[in-house]
Amino acid sequence: MTPLTSPATRAARSLAALVTALVALLALASCGDGGATEEPARISGAELDQPYEASSVPLRTTEGEARSLSDVDNDLTLVFFGYTRCPDICGIVMSTITSAVTQLDDDLRERVDVVFVTTDPARDDEKTLRAYLDRYDPSFEGLTGDLDAVVESGLSVKVAVEEGDKLPSGGYEVVHSDHVVGLDAEGMGQIVWTKDISARQMSTDIEILLTR
């Protein structure tokens, strides 16, 4: 004689079967479309609708050779204006840039140059610049030159440079904009990063720009 099953038991079994079927359907759907699609990474910097045209005014490299801001020879050149005696922001931004390019795969890293233009050419000669940049990455290039040439070069990428207040030590502050500009292979500024960008965000942006 077959035992009788209560209505409550039958209902519980039916619900369990329904749940099992739903789980199986969801699993099949996941297998069919490869699972949930991740949203594509977004650019964190500010891409420019009207690109900057880097200046062709000649400056000097740390090897004493003539080079202008527009003389790019790579797919992407990160440009930052600062000075070696800067007490705070310059070091923070340079550390961010260094970490960002270090996070890139080797094939992408080879397609990126970094150029540091001194805003204090009276004190930042070629030797001083080279020693400063070697602390971050020996491949980073430094540019110096006459102050007028530096100012004009800065203005081409919306970097303002001016001499600030004198310091008690006898030196002086150098007031300058603190954003980083990304120049493309034609020497056109296509993207700007503020000093608050993280190394991870900048690295991701570079990867997106170079793999589009």
Report, as an integer, the average pLDDT of 175-182: 85
Report, as an integer, the average pLDDT of 1-16: 50
Would you say residue 199 has pLDDT above 90? yes
Tell me yes or no: is domain 46-211 CATH 3.30.750.210: no
- The CA-based angle 81-98-70, given to 5 degrees, is 40
- The CA-based angle 199-120-189, given to 5 degrees, is 45
Which 3 state secondary structure label does DSSP give 88? coil
Output the pLDDT for position 190: 97
Q: Is the distance from CB of 143 to CB of 116 less than 8 angstroms?
A: yes
Output the pLDDT for position 87: 85
Q: In the structure, what pLDDT confidence band is assigned to residue 2 with cuts at 50, 70 and 90?
A: very low
- The CA-based angle 94-83-134, given to 5 degrees, is 55
Helix (H) and strand (E) counts for the chain? 6, 10
pLDDT digits 0-9 by tens, 118-151: 998 988 999 999 999 999 999 999 999 998 999 9
Domain residue ranges of the chain, discontinuous segments joined by +: 46-211
CA distance 25 to 76: 48
Output the pLDDT for position 161: 81
SS (H, E, C) 24-72: HHHHHHHHHHCCCCCCCCCCCCEEEEEEEECCCCEEEECCCCEEECCCC
Report, as an integer, the average pLDDT of 7-30: 49
CA distance 6 to 13: 11
> 């795969």: which residue's tokens?
105
CA distance 93 to 162: 19
Would you say residue 18 has pLDDT above 60? no
Burial class (CB in 10 A: 0-12, 13-18, 19+), 34: exposed
CA distance 39 to 52: 30
